[in-house]
Amino acid sequence: MATPMIPDTAPEPVARTAWQRWVGFWFPASDPTTLGFIRITTGLLVLYIHLAYTVDLQQFFGSTGWYAHRYIERERHEYPLIATPFWDWDPQSAISAKVPEVPHRRKAVMDFIRGLPPQPAAREQALQFLNRVAQLESPEAAIRLLRWFRRMGTSEAERERQLAALIEGTPPPREYTEQELDRAPFIYDWPQSERLQLAAEVRAFWELLPKGADDPKQITERGYVLNHLLELSPEFRRAFVRFLLNLPADDAARTKKIDYLEYWNNEPEKAVRIGHAIFSLWFHVTDPTQMAIIHGMVLLTIVLFTIGLFTRVTSVLVWLAVVGYIHRTQQVLFGMDTMMNILLFYLMIGNSGAALSVDRLIARYRAARASLARSGTLDYATRVFLAAPPPSRSAGFGLRLIQVHFCFIYMAAGLSKLKGAAWWTGTATWDVMVNPEFSLMQYPWYENAMRAVMSIKPIYHAFIIGGSWFTLFIEIAGPFLLWTRLRWLIMFLATIMHAIIGVMMGLNLFELLMIIMILAFVPDGVIRDRLRGGPDLPKLGFAFNPAAALSQRAAALVAAADVDSQVTFTSESGLASPVLTDPNGQKRTGSEAFTALARSLRLLSAVGFLLWIPGIHRLLAKRFFPEPQPPTTAAPQPRAPVAAS
């Protein structure tokens, strides 16, 4: 409907369904220049990071590196993934036997396990006491019973004295005073037959433990085993006893199961999955020479991805290679690697090579060549294609994924900070600013500045509270305000925040990657307009012969390189070689013309350093301004024989 504000020619608004709005949100037709710029900046950082790996390639990823090849091989094949049952609320089926984390204590417990009788019947008989303890419903009763057993020590005489008192049903008077009788084990109240059975079980279990009364090492190891049983919670104590009772009779199978427990502190049967479903070339290549060659090929692929050559292929190869580096040595995995992986993944999904890339230059050349072949000039459709890369839904999808993921990262970071009191009181900001491991405390001027701030209490509190609330505001409110008219303000404040963190904490690469993710929120056309040349760029003329194939190719090359529309094309039949009219109006051809073109065209002048490579200038000059071709003469025809008269 026409109104004073809406003329009759304005199209009527079309109501879109919820599904259309959903699809339109995720797949907008966006200018691919923004994603192309993100590709370049990300590629440069990825290249820098992996160039840094070159110096310590063997230490990071070699067979005898900081995390040796044999360790990562065992991890990716044996690592247990433990999860509680999906339907059952009782987690006992997923609880695994545990051994101490401290190495010397773990060794004592593992020696005890390896010393158990190999036959299941004999082992079950010897472990009846331990099984009785594990089955007690009262955790306190189990602890008291184990402490009673520990009182026996390593002397057989002391053991028999304690068992005699047990059979008699009276606690030894030397062990418990009248005030301590309530802490005596409840076993003295059991029936006579039960106490006799318990005494037999104690003698059998006592024989399994180190018994040297005069050997300090055996006394210590015995204490480690009993202390481990005392420290286990009832659930883990039952799992530990069940593990001992269910050891296989076969020597090889039993050794394998015990070794797995010692290495992983878990049972393979309790795991939902064994091993990691990960891939890395460094799992299979350990020779230093081969590693150096492959690393060089990876760096070359990153360079090709950064300049945008074969981007659809190189983006996948770079992502796979980077993930391979991370999988090989996850011990050095940091936030920087996570952000790098996120950006590379979305740059692989989106068409990141549709702009600011060699692929775009190749597409420009092909479009200009096809138009010149059709009509001898650059038609309207070709000029539109050359003026700006067409909107891309693939690029829009990639940008949207980066935007949404960035918002989730901010929200998770902000809400997690609220769980700590340091962010409510503001001390978190101060702790970062004066932490010598991160901050600039090694510089006297910085230390003096911090002392000056702290000397004035109101300024100190305003400083730390303001910093904390500024961070919380950006990370919690930012994911919402980035979709409003306040987008530019949040982008500016977030960039300032990451720049400060990068300087204060030394997390330069991580913060640069976060700033690159912020670029995804830049509106369409902004980056393209900022990268364009101004109106003062020199203007050139290029005359060519549309009938000559070499001249057509030369004109297509100039059109591909003319990203700022500096060249006016003129078709002139009969020209032997293309002619360039420089900004001063002089007509040039050949090598001299290419030199003037390389100095005037903005794209060629930016990469002019490549012309210093021997042979490059001459090669390109022949392509842009081919030499006149000599006219071809028809081959002489053989004369017809003259008939005899």
Report the 10 Å Cβ neighbour count for 162.
19
CA distance 344 to 316: 8
pLDDT score for 179: 46
Question: Which residue from 15, 7, 35 is spatially nearest to 397, judged by alpha carbons?
Answer: 35
Same domain membership, residue 501 and residue 435: yes
Same domain? 548 vs 470: no
pLDDT score of 496: 94
Check the CA dihedral 271-327-517-307 and report its sign.
Answer: negative
**Do 443 and 547 lie in a common domain?**
no
Helices assigned H by DSSP within 232-332? 234-245, 251-264, 288-307, 311-328
- Which CATH number characterizes residue 583's domain? 3.40.30
Asked whether residue 629 is domain-assigned, the answer is no
The answer to whether 550 touches 621, Cβ cutoff 8 Å, is no
Q: How many helices (H) and strands (E) does the chain have?
A: 31, 6
Structural domain contains residue 336: no
According to the model, what pLDDT value does residue 324 have? 94
CA dihedral 36, 40, 41, 45 (to 10 degrees): 140
- pLDDT by residue (tens digit) across 371-429? 998 888 888 999 999 999 999 999 999 999 999 999 999 999 999 999 888 888 888 88
Same-domain check for residues 486 and 438: yes
Nearest to 278 by CA among 313, 326, 319, 318: 326
CA distance 478 to 490: 6
Q: pLDDT tens-digit profile of 604-620?
A: 888 888 878 888 888 88
CA atoms within a 13 Å half-sphere pointing along the CA-CB vector of 637: 3
Residue 559 CB neighbour total at 10 angstroms: 24
Using DSSP bridges, classify how beta strands 579-581 and 587-588 pair: parallel, antiparallel or unpaired.
Answer: antiparallel
Residue 383, Cβ density class (10 Å: 0-12 exposed, 13-18 middle, ≥19 buried): middle
Q: Verify that 501 and 601 share a domain, yes or no.
A: no
Distance CA 627, CA 272 (A): 72
Q: Is 570 helix (H, G, I), strand (E, B) or coil?
A: strand
Domain final residue, candidates 529, 559, 593: 529
Whether residue 542 is found in the same domain as residue 470: no
Both structure tokens of 477 = 């409110």
Please report whether residue 78 resides in a domain: no
Among 202, 222, 225, which Cα is nearest to 212's? 222
Q: What is the rounded CA–CA span in Å between residue 344 and residue 398?
A: 10
Scanning 437-507, the segments in alpha helix (DSSP H) are: 444-455, 457-472, 478-481, 487-505
User: Residue 309 is encoded by which pair of tokens?
Assistant: 């050559």
Q: How far apart are CA 66 and CA 68, in angstroms?
A: 6
Q: Is residue 283 in some structural domain? A: no
Provide the number of structural domains found in the chain.
3
In 3-state terms the chain splits into helix, strand, coil percentages (rounded to 5) of: 65, 5, 35
CB burial of residue 606 (10 Å; 0-12, 13-18, 19+): exposed
Q: Residue 4 falls within a domain, yes or no?
A: no
3-class secondary structure, 568: strand
The number of angstroms, rounded, from the C-alpha of 388 to the middle of its chain's C-alpha atoms is: 33
Element (H, E) at 230: helix 216-231
Residues 185 and 148 sit within 8 Å (Cβ to Cβ):
yes
Q: Do 450 and 591 have their domain in common?
A: no
Which pLDDT belongs to residue 96?
A: 92
Per the DSSP assignment, residues forming a β-bridge with 570 are: 543
Tokens representing 339 are 């952000």
Question: Could you tell me if 414 and 520 lie in one domain?
Answer: yes
Whether residue 264 sits in one domain with residue 166: yes
Task: Supply the DSSP symbol for 475.
Answer: I
C-alpha dihedral, 299 to 304 to 305 to 310, nearest 10°: -140
Helical segments of 63-191, H only: 69-78, 103-114, 120-126, 128-135, 139-150, 156-168
Q: Which residues of the chain are modeled with pLDDT < 70?
A: 1-13, 172-185, 212-214, 629-645
Q: Locate 328 and state its tokens.
A: 């090989």
How buried is residue 442: exposed, middle or buried, by Cβ count under 10 Å (0-12/13-18/19+)? Answer: exposed
Residues paired with 30 in a beta bridge: 392
By the 8 A CB rule, do 306 and 322 touch?
no
- Give the range of the structural domain holding residue 522, as residue numbers without chain letter: 409-529
Residue 160, in any domain of the structure: yes
Choose the final residue of a domain: 274, 301, 318: 274
In a domain, 523, yes or no: yes
- In the prediction, which pLDDT does 430 show? 83
From 495, 514, 529, give the residue that closes a domain.
Answer: 529
* H or E stretch covering 581: strand 579-581
Three-class DSSP category at 293:
helix
Q: Let me know if residue 347 belongs to a domain.
A: no
544 & 513 share domain: no
- The rounded radius of gyration (Å) of the Cα atoms in the chain is 39
Residues near 593 by beta carbon (within 8 Å), at least 6 away in sequence? 578, 579, 580, 621, 624, 625
Q: What CA–CA distances, in Å, run from 359 to 221, 375, 446?
A: 69, 24, 48
Tell me, yes or no, whether 573 and 464 share the same domain: no
First to last CA, the chain: 98
Integer Cα distance of 426 and 587 in angstroms: 70
For position 160, what pLDDT does the model report?
86
How far is residue 128 CA from its own chain's centroid? 50
pLDDT of residue 433: 82
- The pTM for the full model equals 0.84
Q: Which among 209, 222, 211, 245 has a CA at the least distance from the CA of 134?
A: 245
Residue type, 445: W
DSSP-derived secondary structure for 372-405: HHHHSS--HHHHHHHHSPPPBHHHHHHHHHHHHH
Distances (CA, A) of 251 to 118, 232, 353: 8, 28, 60
Q: Are residues 442 and 586 in the same domain?
A: no
